[in-house]
Structure 1
Amino acid sequence: MISTQHPVVIFGAGAIGCYLGAQWAGAGMPVTLLGRDRLLALSKTGFEIESGPRLSSAKLSENPRITTDPLCLAKAGLIVVTVKATALNAAITQIREHSTPETPVLCLLNGIAPARRLETALPDWRISAGMVPFNVVWSSETTLRRSSVGEVVLERTAATEQLVASLGTNAPEIRLSDDIRAVQYGKLLLNLNNPVNALSGKSLYHQLRERPYRLVYAAALQEALDVYEGAQVVHAKSGPLPARQIVRMLRAPDWLFNTVALRLQKLDPQSQTSMAQDLAAGKPTEIDTINGEIVDLATETGQFAPVNARLVELVRSASAGGQTYFSGPELCRAVLS
């Protein structure tokens, strides 16, 4: 049970984790942010989020509490995993070492595979899944800004029902779902643009303004929808429009897309996907759990996904020192020719 003695521990508190933790703490939820050493600086400076007031250092030391010590997992009432997929194995080891199976675990990672990996590796723990649809960026060292729209969706379990009930009327945008897998498959379709954004070297807003980049994303999205159909995968709508309508809008001329569809997203002009940030920083990317998920599903069901496979190949090559950034026409030729 979540209490002051058994708080919500957000494991892997980067931008998303800090943003959610600050929101929940602001609503009265006891929260501990568990992250890397650079997180400790925030316990001295405080930080602010776009939807709430600045949190002072004194308040941060109490709620949310910031730590780098995984021993805090032993006292968690709920563990919320927000690490990157590339760090999931290490997180699993620490959860196994420092918590007990009585502690529920909520996975908020991109893709479908991470929650499955948690279930396989921690068979005695109660694993649930969730989906965060929006981007969050550090606009400064102490300021977090939400840069797109959407509501958090969590699998309906006893733990998530208690979380929402504890947040009460102060709860931010959270919805419980009885079919989280369909929600995850819907979110995955939106994430298929991540490698396009990463390989463009542009902000998400400026990348989407250029039709050649959109054509690559449209091809990856259409291919994924075809693979879903062949695999009989049900997906929920994620975003302002149904996925097949998004394909049509992506292919529209710039004057139409930029004046109609792009406005619906309410994107911050400086926002980038996490994959773009990781590629630029020379860090491992989540390409295998995003577009790689479509390739794997196609293979498992006797289908082909050459567009998504090519994007996986290009991101892997860029991470290994190959060409990192492509103009729109260059990326079209590299992926669609």
Structure 2
Amino acid sequence: MKVGIVGAGSIGCYVGAVMQLAGAEVHFLLRPRMAETLSVHGLRVSDLRGLDRQLGAESLHLHTEAAAMTGLDCLFVTVKSADTAAVAEQLAGVLNGSETIVSLQNGVGNAAQLRQSLPNQPVLAGMIAFNVLNCGEGHFHAGTDGAIMVEECAAMDELASLFAATQTPFEWQPDMVAVQWSKLLLNLNNPINALSGLPLKDELSQRAYRRCLALLQTEALQAIRAAGLPLLKLTAVPPSVLPWVLRSPDWLFRKVAQPMLRMDPLARSSMWEDLELGRRTEVDWLNGEVADLARRHGLVATANERVRELIKAAEQGGRRDFSGEELLTLLRA
């Protein structure tokens, strides 16, 4: 199978490497800086389950022009949500209609945007439930548990076997709307983690930070219920009771939600990594999406609006070392 990775950052490099290890011919469309890094160091992937494999630089198909994506069997779009429109425009000029596109991105609207911009291409919604950290020198580490989920498509059955080879969890899903909104609920921790300056495990082990997340999720759940949107259980805890579990004392949280803390001690959110690298974050496609949904149904999502403001300030060099108590006070104000 010939696969393209459109936007080979942390997620794209990891997913592409896993498929190449299974025998796929993978072509990476990436920025010149990343192409230079991989051409020197090759591509290494690891995870918390023990995977640790290296692909030599000579085995990688690295490209900086979208024309290289023409005629491949499947393209995984892994760019940040802010770049979806621009990438779709680039692809529109080179694809021939035979390539199946999988949107493997955060947020809930990227697949729809790709369908609108590329009406002649089959587009599948997808989601990745684990975090991948760029460790430098071509090494990408999956530090949390979770699966890759893709909208059911019989024509793409071969994809499942490509992930099975490295025991990377993969699932076909009949209802990606439920998956995407359920994942968005979990992704509301991204700004909390980014503003804490802590690894995910340390942050989630502190009740004050979890109470911040509970505030954001409570607002999101209210909006989701008002909109009549479906949800799916992606963790050991059903979505409807997540805020209650997060607000629980540390000893009870560790007992009830132990699988939520099964992660690499150094794992971080993608939003933390974006801020570290001086990139625009996806806060508008996460907390902004919640605020917009609430507004459309006569509700307010004050905490989500405030955390969005804090992340916007952090993008301009503002604080990223808030204690849990400081952050909770700001979100409640």
Aligned match of 1:200: 196
Q: CA RMSD in A?
A: 2.0
Task: Describe how 1:254-333 pairs up with structure 2 within 5 A.
Answer: 254-258=250-254, 261-333=257-329
Moved over 6 A (4+): 166-171
Q: Secondary structure at the match of 2:226?
A: helix
Task: Describe how 1:1-337 pairs up with structure 2 within 5 A.
Answer: 2=1, 7-40=2-35, 41-50=37-46, 51-58=51-58, 60-61=59-60, 65-164=61-160, 172-258=168-254, 261-337=257-333
Q: Is the contact between residue 11 and residue 79 of structure 1 (CA under 8 Å) also seen in structure 2? A: yes
Q: Secondary structure at the match of 2:79?
A: coil
Please state how far the C-alpha of 1:232 moved relative to its aligned partner.
0.5
Q: Which amino acid aligns with 1:23?
A: V
TM-score w.r.t. length of structure 2: 0.92
Q: Which amino acid aligns with 2:227?
A: A
State how far apart, in whole Å, the 1-side matches of 2:94 and 2:5 are. Answer: 14
Q: Deviations over 1:192-227 (max 9, x none)?
A: 111111111111111112211110101111111111
Q: Is the contact between residue 104 and residue 159 of structure 1 (CA under 8 Å) also seen in structure 2? A: no
Q: Which amino acid aligns with 1:241?
A: V
Count, aligned residues: 328
Q: Which amino acid aligns with 1:34?
A: L
Q: Is the contact between residue 275 and residue 286 of structure 1 (CA under 8 Å) also seen in structure 2? A: yes
Q: Is the contact between residue 279 and residue 285 of structure 1 (CA under 8 Å) also seen in structure 2? A: yes
Q: Which runs of 5+ in 2 are unaligned?
A: none
Q: Secondary structure at the match of 2:157?
A: helix
Please state how far the C-alpha of 1:117 moved relative to its aligned partner.
1.4
Q: Which amino acid aligns with 2:302?
A: P
Q: Is the contact between residue 149 and residue 171 of structure 2 (CA under 8 Å) also seen in structure 1? A: yes
Please state how far the C-alpha of 1:68 moved relative to its aligned partner.
1.7
Please state how far the C-alpha of 1:55 moved relative to its aligned partner.
1.9
Q: Which amino acid aligns with 1:243?
A: P
Q: 1:313 to 1:126 in 2, by over 3 A?
A: same
Q: Which runs of 5+ in 1 are unaligned?
A: none
Q: Percentage identity across aligned positions? A: 35
Does 256-265 or 135-144 show the bigger shift? 256-265
Q: Which amino acid aligns with 1:32?
A: H
Q: Is the contact between residue 156 and residue 178 of structure 1 (CA under 8 Å) also seen in structure 2? A: yes
Q: Secondary structure at the match of 2:125?
A: strand
